[in-house]
Structure 1
């Protein structure tokens, strides 16, 4: 009978191979004990792996939409706060205009209120959230409201329109002779500079298009507000007319025409802003309800994935302990075998 020899090198090599295998198994067991998921789903599930891949992909899509919905909801919340401030400013200005029409507010008070309204509009409409302009439509990197300061496009256009219509400037002594009827005619002629094409050219950098967000797999919603809406245009027109013409030399009758037109514009603006606040609120509620529904769907998918890929962390921890013991034993045996030699045997 033939007897095959066994060298210490062969024994050491076999222990080393077993040690590498045990280390790999321990790494997988540690991963399963930590995550509660199979370290290699494909090895365990076989043909069922495609189901987990599909479920994980769909769950990731839902979670991404939930995250973007949170951002959209925060942007709408900031928009809602700004609209509230804009409404408050408009109502304050309207109160001053009404007081002025009855003689309870002086022209100086009305002038100051109009300038305050314009300044507040600039601050509110040029507000940003997360580094994006919330009233710029899709042009979120540019401040939307240009203002009505001296030298601005809007002020220059208005001055040009006034001189073209009357033949002199607002500060010219001849402005004192403008009748109420003449001023009403001018206000009608200059209206397109505020409510028409002049708004985009001189007042606003915003786009009419607003941000459209996918709030569900098959549902989108407008999640921003543009400064190019009628309530903003009307409030700006009323404030600009009052701020400019109450500081010039126009007659009392002309100022009455300005006051009447401004009151009508601001009243419409207040109502329009209120309707817009309601619309934004509806969108906020839609996003909240949709996110809750998506979260429930994602939770159901998570349960299915856990059922397929789930691993018992306690059992995995036990395997880690067992494998650790085996590895330590292998290290000890390998060290002893490496110490064996013919010289030591013969001695």
Structure 2
């Protein structure tokens, strides 16, 4: 009988390699509770498992995207809440403006606060910029105020002549000037010519885009599910913000100390009414933002349910029982240790031992 230690050790080495690979795979499966080689284990069903994983990844990506959108809508709502509160405070002050000489500075300060709120940014994008989100929508309130003051001065010239004597303005004339229709100056600047002056032109296009806002009317949108898309911004060009701006501008540029008491009341009351209309519009916009967030919540709930289903599906296909995997690993570890011990003994064998 011929005994070859070389053949014995070579055969044992192959056995040892196989056991080491099996032990490594079993250890991975016990740690991760997942098949170590999905393709080998599932065969033709691998494509189904991969499809489930793609679906889960897509749903998770959408859920994360919706979180970003929801946070942005929170910022928008917070900004509009601040604008609305400030407008309500100024509205109350406007009704008694004629008693306080500092009302003009208060109105300008409110305009600057409005500018700050409308310039709210999220990740470098301005949430009130519409699709023009990379540019601050309200760049300089002084430009708008200068245009508003020029508009008022032109009205005073039409009513009182070169002296611009504001005391000559009547309640009817001021009421018309502060309306959308405007005050019509007959035979001005020449006989047979009628010219219309309206303070509200200050916040109408093209003056609004030239003097106040760089925002676009169109707003950004995002898909929150496979079938739903919502607006993800609010434009600073919204009529509600224009009304608030107009009211603040009235109080900031019209020096009511030079007006009669009756005309002072026209200005303060018109500003208050305009602010009320603006805050009503902002409330409506906040309601729309709330509706969008509710749609996000509903979409997220549906997608989370879908994600749970596909996660269970591929886990059922790719997963392994942790207890069974641990038992298999322990058994292979015992076999591996036994094989390694046998290999050591074989390596010590010598033909001389059999002579």
TM-score range, shorter chain: 0.7 to 0.9
**In the alignment, does 2:119 pair up with 1:122?**
no
* Match among 135, 138, 145 for residue 145 of structure 1: 138
Structure 1: 4+ residue segments shifted above 6 A: none
Does the 8 Å CA contact 1:118/1:147 hold for their aligned counterparts? no
- Provide the residue aligned with 1:154 in structure 2: 144
Number of positions where the alignment pairs a residue of Structure 1 with one of Structure 2: 333
Pairwise CA RMSD of aligned residues? 2.9
* Match among 279, 291, 305 for residue 270 of structure 1: 279
What is the 5 A alignment of 1:40-189? 40-100=37-97, 106-149=99-142, 153-163=143-153, 166=156, 174-177=164-167, 179-180=169-170, 183-184=174-175, 187=178, 188=182, 189=198
- Provide the residue aligned with 1:294 in structure 2: 303
What is the 5 A alignment of 1:209-228? 209-228=218-237
- Provide the residue aligned with 1:21 in structure 2: 18
Q: Against the structure 1 CA distance between its residues 29 and 199, is the aligned structure 2 distance closer, same or farther, given a 3 Å change threshold?
A: farther
CA distance in 1, matches of 2:176, 2:41: 84
CA distance in 1, matches of 2:99, 2:8: 106
- Provide the residue aligned with 2:314 in structure 1: 305
Segment of structure 1 superposing worse, 110-119 or 274-283 = 110-119
**In the alignment, does 2:233 pair up with 1:201?**
no
CA distance in 2, matches of 1:310, 1:24: 19
- Provide the residue aligned with 1:10 in structure 2: 7
How much does 1:70 deviate?
A: 1.7
- Provide the residue aligned with 2:342 in structure 1: 333
How much does 1:346 deviate?
A: 8.9
In structure 2, runs of 5+ residues without a counterpart are 183-197
CA distance in 2, matches of 1:53, 1:267: 57
Residue-by-residue CA offset, 1:150-199 (whole Å, 9 max, x unaligned): xxx3234334444555569xxx9634355145545654434233132222
- Provide the residue aligned with 2:185 in structure 1: none
CA distance in 2, matches of 1:199, 1:17: 83
Q: With the length of structure 1 as denominator, give the TM-score of the two structures.
A: 0.84
CA distance in 2, matches of 1:254, 1:8: 118
CA distance in 1, matches of 2:131, 2:264: 39
In structure 1, runs of 5+ residues without a counterpart are none
Q: With the length of structure 2 as denominator, give the TM-score of the two structures.
A: 0.82
Q: Against the structure 1 CA distance between its residues 26 and 346, is the aligned structure 2 distance closer, same or farther, given a 3 Å change threshold?
A: closer
Q: Against the structure 1 CA distance between its residues 10 and 199, is the aligned structure 2 distance closer, same or farther, given a 3 Å change threshold?
A: farther
CA distance in 1, matches of 2:153, 2:113: 28
